[in-house]
Structures are given as structure tokens and as C-alpha cells.
Amino acid sequence: MPIDSSMWSLAPWLGTALALATTRGRAAKLDHGAYGTTKDGEQVEIYTLTNDHGMVVKFLSYGGIITEIDVPDRQGQLANVVLGFRTLEEYKTNGASIYFGALIGRYANRIGQARFTLDGHEYKLAANNGPNFLHGGNVGFDKQVWRVEPLRSNDGVGATLTLTSPDGQEGFPGTLTVRVTYTLTNDDALRITYEARTDKDTVLNLTNHSYFNLAGNGSGTVEDQILTINADRFTPTDATLIPTGELSPVNGTPMDFRTATSIGARLRSSFQPLVYAHGYDHNWVLNKPSLGALSFAARAYEPRSGRVLDCYTTEPGVQVYTSNFLDGSHVGSAGRTYRQTDGFALETQNFPDSPNKPQFPTTELKPGQTFHSETVFRFATDRPFRRSNP
């Protein structure tokens, strides 16, 4: 889909900064520029959101991929805390099965045996992960060009990304219209909201697949970073990572992150779920005041830099993935190769294989309904530093 530039063409400053008035300090702003073209000749742009004290989020119209999040440490020193590549070509080729920073749809995570039944009809999907379907299939939302429009917001700067997925795309029923909004707030949070509508009964599961390293992208393992997950239970799986359907207590297992624990502390345990997944690659059942409430999901903390990341979501689950399949064969945006445990993903989502698990919260969407979800990644440091706003 061509990028709609109508919003931009209204302004003589096309390609230059759009300064958005904010209530304090420097003005938050949104810049954009060319990033390359797809093989079909579609133009891809890179967008830069800057908040009123200098935190930066960059993303592409291709896949909605977040390529960079620059966050201060306790001295105010910025570092890019997400893994990524330097070029569109690398995102298209190397990134195809890594999903760095991308928007995932129509269905994030796995659907067992690459099929599901809805309203008595069986839908067959691509088996792109052993016998199972994973992360949208062969050409998911991470590999499509989204239309991007700037967004004026009272609390920061943002953009809305839209995509229309035709009826039958990657095997799913219904024309699905998806609208994702990225807002970088002036209190250092990246807020992601998702909305979708359909013209036929369908299923969906949307997430963003950013890999974080709070010490800085390319700085090595995250094993010393300290994680808290607000979950009493997780969804155990078979050897192909399809949930068995049970919700198992984390109590007494390496899955228990209810108190802050380093990611590496139990990573090499012989606990069967960790052996199956080559590390953490599991869905935790979030403790929630009520289904759909925006509530605390997880915290990550990096002791040397003091950076803290808090994740809140309306989703019922979070897949925590310790980049188990990164094997040193790709050079990232910091000019260094990525290996196992060099990042962790917090994929807020519905539970994997929900279309085949009636006991899980539903992923069905019907005509006339609007799907809505929200995830907030809020950055801070363990000790406040004095901001030098003019």
C-alpha cells in the first residue's frame, strides 16, 4: 500500500521536523525521511519521535518496526535499548524470522497444527514454525508497509499506523482494518494502542516484538538484568511450544518472577519448559484486577545504568522471550553480532493457540465490534537525575 502523504503535503516543511507544542520544556517533535523501497517499489519511511526532554523512538512504515529507543541512564546518558538492524534490506532478509521491533498480526505467537475452526469452518494457515503457524504466517503485518499519519497528543508526540488486510490474507477470514498508535509521552513512556474491525467473524492477536537490552543494544547478554513478572501462572507447552491448555502455578519453578530475579539466575535449569524453549519463550498469565484492565505486567531493571522499564497492558498474557534463536550470524545496528540472551522481548498478547483452546480468553472479533488493546512501556531510572531542560 502506498504511503499516504496527504498530511505531509499540506505543509511546506515536508521532510523536516514537525514541532508539536507541549506544555513544558523543549517541544516534542516528529521527523521523517526516506528509508528505502520494497521489492514492489513501495517507499518506506523512517519516523523519529522525540519527546520534550530528548527521549527518542524511531520506527519504520515497513512492519511498524521500532528500530531505536534512546533512553537516559541515571547520569542522563542516552543509549538505544532495542535490538535492530541498520538497513531495510537486513530487516527484510535477516529480520524475516527474528521480528525485531515489528508489529505482529494477524495472529502473534503460535496456532497449533496451523489450523483452527471458527463457526464450524476449518481455516488452514501457513505452517512456518515446524507443524505450527507463527507470527502472522508467511507475509504477516511485520512484512507489510503501513500508512502513517502524525498524531497530535496532549501528553507527547505520536503517529497512527493503519493497514487493511484483505479477506483471506494468510488464511484468515474477513477484511481486517487495523490501526496502531505509537505515542512517545513526555513522561518517557511509549504507549502502543491497537484497534481493529472486521467484516466477517475472525480471530486476531496483535503485539509488538521489540527486543530490549537496558544496558544498550549490542552490549552483550541481558542475563544480569532483573525481571519481575506480575503472574502467578504460565501456560505450559508441548515440545513445539503449543500450550497444553493448562494454567500452571509458577510457584517453586524457574518461571516464578513474582519477586525481582535476574533473567540468567535459572535460565540453565533442567526444568522441562526451559529445555523445550532453549531458554525463556513462554506465555505468563498476568494477574489482573479484571480482564481487559490496563495493569502492571512486568518490570526490567539494569543495575549498572540504573535503567528501569515498566510494562503495563490490557492484554491477558505476556510472552517473555530471551532471544534464544539469535546465534551470532547477524550484525546488529550497533555493529556487533547478536547471540542468545542478548535481548528480551515482552510480547503482550492473548495466549498462544487461543483459537483452539476454548478455555482461554477469546481472540474472536465479530463485525460491528471494535477490538481495542493498549500496552505501555515506561522508562525511568532507579535514581532521578536532574533534567537540563532550557
Positions annotated as catalytic residues are 209, 347
Q: Which residues pair with 66 in a beta bridge?
A: 59
> Containing H/E element for 123?
strand 121-124
Q: How far apart are CA 361 and CA 358, in angstroms?
A: 8
Among 18, 69, 71, 98, binds ligand GLA (CB under 6 A): 98
Q: How far apart are CA 178 and CA 370, in angstroms?
A: 10
How far out from the chain centre does Cα 332 lie?
18
Residue 134 interacts with ligand GLA (CB under 6 A): yes or no: yes
Residue type, 351: F
Q: Which stretch binds ligand GLA (CB under 6 A): 77-85, 92-100, 111-119, 252-260?
A: 92-100
Among 234, 312, 321, 379, binds ligand GLA (CB under 6 A): 321
Instruction: Work out how close the CB of 363 gets to ligand GLA at its nearest, in angstroms, rounded to a whole number.
Output: 16
Residue type, 139: V
Do 352 and 284 contact (CB within 8 A), yes or no?
A: no
Q: What is the DSSP letter of 18?
A: E
Do 186 and 24 contact (CB within 8 A), yes or no?
A: yes
Q: Which stretch binds ligand GLA (CB under 6 A): 69-77, 91-99, 173-181, 372-380?
A: 91-99
The C-alpha angle 310, 316, 318, rounded to 5 degrees, equals 50
Q: Which stretch binds ligand GLA (CB under 6 A): 15-23, 65-73, 318-326, 366-374?
A: 318-326
Q: Which three-class secondary structure state does DSSP give residue 152?
A: strand
Residues 11-40 that bind ligand GLA (CB under 6 A): none
Residue 322 interacts with ligand GLA (CB under 6 A): yes or no: no
Q: Quick one: the chain helix, strand, coil %, rounded to 5?
A: 10, 45, 50
Instruction: Work out how close the CB of 140 gets to ligand GLA at its nearest, in angstroms, rounded to a whole number.
Output: 11
Residue 328 interacts with ligand GLA (CB under 6 A): yes or no: no
Among 170, 281, 302, 353, binds ligand GLA (CB under 6 A): 281
> Which CB atom, from 238 or from 382, has the smaller least distance to ligand GLA?
238
Compute φ and ψ for 151, nearest 5 degrees.
Answer: -130, 130
Instruction: Work out how close the CB of 136 gets to ligand GLA at its nearest, in angstroms, rounded to a whole number.
Output: 11
> Which CB atom, from 196 or from 241, has the smaller least distance to ligand GLA?
241
Residues 236-255 that bind ligand GLA (CB under 6 A): none
The span from the first CA to the last CA of the chain, in angstroms, equals 41
Q: Which stretch binds ligand GLA (CB under 6 A): 30-38, 79-87, 94-102, 119-127?
A: 94-102
Q: Which stretch binds ligand GLA (CB under 6 A): 34-42, 54-62, 96-104, 353-361?
A: 96-104
- State the sign of the Cα–Cα–Cα–Cα dihedral 1, 178, 103, 138: negative
Matching residue, cell 513501495: 42
Matching residue, cell 518490570: 299
Residue 346 interacts with ligand GLA (CB under 6 A): yes or no: no
Among 62, 99, 116, 371, binds ligand GLA (CB under 6 A): 99
Residue 345 interacts with ligand GLA (CB under 6 A): yes or no: yes
Residue 180 interacts with ligand GLA (CB under 6 A): yes or no: no
Q: How far apart are CA 44 and CA 33, in angstroms?
A: 9
Q: How far apart are CA 164 and CA 178, in angstroms?
A: 6
For 114-188, strand residue ranges (E) read 115-118, 121-124, 133-134, 147-153, 156-165, 176-185
Instruction: Work out how close the CB of 243 gets to ligand GLA at its nearest, in angstroms, rounded to a whole number.
Output: 12
Q: Which three-class secondary structure state does DSSP give residue 354?
A: helix
Residue 319 interacts with ligand GLA (CB under 6 A): yes or no: yes
Instruction: Work out how close the CB of 110 gets to ligand GLA at its nearest, in angstroms, rounded to a whole number.
Output: 7
Instruction: Work out how close the CB of 179 gets to ligand GLA at its nearest, in angstroms, rounded to a whole number.
Output: 23
Cα dihedral: 234, 237, 241, 245 (round 10): -90
Instruction: Work out how close the CB of 205 gets to ligand GLA at its nearest, in angstroms, rounded to a whole number.
Output: 12
Q: Which stretch binds ligand GLA (CB under 6 A): 161-169, 231-239, 317-325, 375-383?
A: 317-325
Number of residues that bind ligand GLA (CB under 6 A): 11
Applying CB under 6 A, the residues found at the interface with ligand GLA are 97-99, 109, 134, 281, 319, 321, 325, 345, 347
